Amino acid sequence: MARKEEANREKTDRMNEVLIPDQAEYSRVIEPYRRELLLHCYRLLGSLHDAEDAVQDALLRAWRHFDTFTEKGPGSLRRWLYTIATNTSLDLLKKGAPRTLPTVASAAWDPMRPVAPRSTEALWLEPFPDSWLAEATENPEARYTRHESVSLAFLIALQLLPPRGRAILILSDVLDWRAGEIAQWLEISVAAVNSALHRARVILEKHYQREQPEIVPFGDTNAALDTLLSRYVQAWETDDVDGLVALLKEDATLSMPPVPSWYQGRNAIRRVLSTVLFPPDVHKQWRLSPTRANGYPAFVVYRADEATRSYRAFAIQVLTLAGSPFPKQVASLTAFLGPELVTSFGFPLQIPQ
């Protein structure tokens, strides 16, 4: 089925493989691929903002060199664009260290110590809106589903791979390209592809444990899950630290990139919540709006700003859950700090009190 869909896409591509006379026509032909290229670059880079830059650069390169593609005759416009986006991402990866999360970068922090200042040296993973995944094509024959391939656990494991190995694994095991196709489009030998793919799979097998299917697809509902998340929101918005801690697993984790310190266990998290996020002299400073990110339930977090009598965007909070099937407990809470992330999820930077 996947091969048939791929053949149909390539047939459509060939119909579009004509000399584009102007930028407007070029945009009409290329624009439908933008969102899936963004998803591809995000998998490679682990950053939504870097992925947006990579896609913009890739499409500009494609515009400048479109005549070289048309001169090659029949082929796949989609795969040509993926190749440019892949190489653009690989160029970006040469300039920076792998991205990670605090829970991987260091040991758990002592809750009796002050929270560490935000780190500008480390590169941190960023969240990805699930609503964008709805437009992505699923590959039934691929090793990893579209949701699993952007899960935080999968992305962390990907960061352990060298950039080219990361790209080859994604093209093969997520997008379901054949080794010969990868070799052709990346201009390397099939033997090199197979060797890199083998090494990448060995590393992933060692460092990545598949999570149990825990999340209802975007837009679907589950009564028990809805109840759990409603209790979670209510606890945040009513300063109910005890109620919030009661929803956590005994060994739950709390992290707040780019803050490098992170916390594990109910007692440690309770102390941080009570002293940092819910100080005794401040009340009802949080508002949460539900969304989804990286295949998990998530929230856009707003913080009260008394000067403007409004709530301002503060973070994207992503939850992983434990327990089967439902209800569940919160296994990890990752708050990606930064108001600039909110607009990518379709939310305003400010809401009224």
> Is residue 55 within 8 Å of residue 35, measured between CB atoms?
no
In this predicted model, which residue has the larger pLDDT, 94 or 307?
Answer: 94
| pTM for this model (two decimals) | 0.87
Residue 270, pLDDT > 60, answer yes
Cβ neighbours of residue 51 closer than 8 Å, sequence gap 6 or more = 38, 39, 41, 42, 44, 45, 89
17: helix, strand or coil = coil
Radius of gyration of the chain (CA): 22
H-run or E-run covering 196: helix 190-207
> Is residue 28 within 8 Å of residue 37, measured between CB atoms?
no
Is 223-352 assigned to CATH 3.10.450.50?
yes
pLDDT, tens digit (0-9, with 9 covering 90-100), for 149-163: 999 999 999 999 999
> Is residue 126 within 8 Å of residue 336, measured between CB atoms?
yes
pLDDT of residue 3: 53
Q: Which residue is it, tokens 């998803």? A: 39
What tokens were used for 351? 């809401």
Euclidean distance between CA atoms 134 and 146, whole angstroms: 9
Residue 213, pLDDT > 50, answer no
Q: Do domains 1-96 and 223-352 have the same CATH topology?
A: no
Tell me the mean pLDDT in the region 7-36: 64
**DSSP letters of 56-99?**
HHHHHHHHHTHHHHHTT-S--HHHHHHHHHHHHHHHHHTTSPPP
Tell me the mean pLDDT in the region 107-118: 95
CATH number, span 1-96: 1.10.1740.10
Structure confidence at residue 120 as a pLDDT band (50, 70, 90): confident
H-run or E-run covering 34: helix 34-45
Q: Which residues of 284-306 are buried (b: 16+ CB within 10 A; e: fewer)?
A: ebbbbbebbbbbbbbbbbbebee
Residue 338, pLDDT > 70, answer yes
Sign of CA dihedral 26, 29, 34, 37: negative
Tell me the mean pLDDT in the region 328-338: 94
Residue 4, pLDDT > 80, answer no
Parallel, antiparallel, or unpaired: how do β-strands 248-256 and 310-322 relate? unpaired
- Phi-psi category of residue 176: left, alpha or beta, with phi > 0 → left and psi -120 to 50 → alpha: left
Q: Which residue is it, tokens 């490679």? A: 44
Q: Output the CA–CA distances (angstroms, integers) from residue 179 to 88, 184, 187, 216, 238, in the order listed.
A: 20, 9, 12, 33, 54
Structure confidence at residue 32 as a pLDDT band (50, 70, 90): confident
pLDDT, tens digit (0-9, with 9 covering 90-100), for 233-245: 999 999 999 999 9
Euclidean distance between CA atoms 314 and 312, whole angstroms: 6
What tokens were used for 185? 């489009």
* Boundaries of every domain in the chain: 1-96, 223-352
Lowest mean pLDDT among 61-65, 90-94, 341-345: 61-65
Give the best-scoring range by mean pLDDT among 27-36, 72-81, 240-249, 317-326: 240-249
Lowest mean pLDDT among 10-19, 244-253, 340-349: 10-19
pLDDT of residue 18: 43
